[in-house]
Amino acid sequence: MTEEKLLAGYEMDPLYIVGMEGFYGCLWYLIFLPIFQFVNCNNNDLCNNGKIEDSHKALTDLVDKPKLLIMSIGIVFSIASFNGSGVFVTKYASAA
């Protein structure tokens, strides 16, 4: 709904909007990721090493398991194409 109003009211390139969504997502991630490194968590099913986030372990897993790295890159492209397609449809057709 917000994207439809944005695309109808202003002359904006759909890929620019997708890029801005990605930029703001990365910005929020960069803000909250360091905080989550220090938040304690007692639920073993949800947490790793007693913290909400363990970036060192995540990066180690990506380096040690090439399949995981390939799947992660595939997911990034999948989400980018999904978001791009959605914004193009909203721009040139309708969100409904």
Domain ranges across the chain: 2-92
- pLDDT value, residue 6: 66
pLDDT in tens, 39-58: 888 877 778 778 888 888 88
| Inter-residue contact 41 to 47 (CB < 8 Å) | yes
Residue with the bigger pLDDT between 3 and 24: it is 24
Average pLDDT over residues 23-33: 92
For the record, the structure tokens of 15 come out as 């890929």
What burial letters (b/e) apply to 27-44, b meaning 16+ CB within 10 Å? eeeeeeeeeeeeeeeeee
Owner of token pair 């439809």: 4
- Please, what is the end-to-end C-alpha distance for the chain in angstroms? 9
Task: Indicate the pLDDT class of residue 3, thresholds 50, 70 and 90.
Answer: low
Helix axis angle for 66-92 and 14-36, nearest 10°, is 140
Average pLDDT over residues 13-20: 81
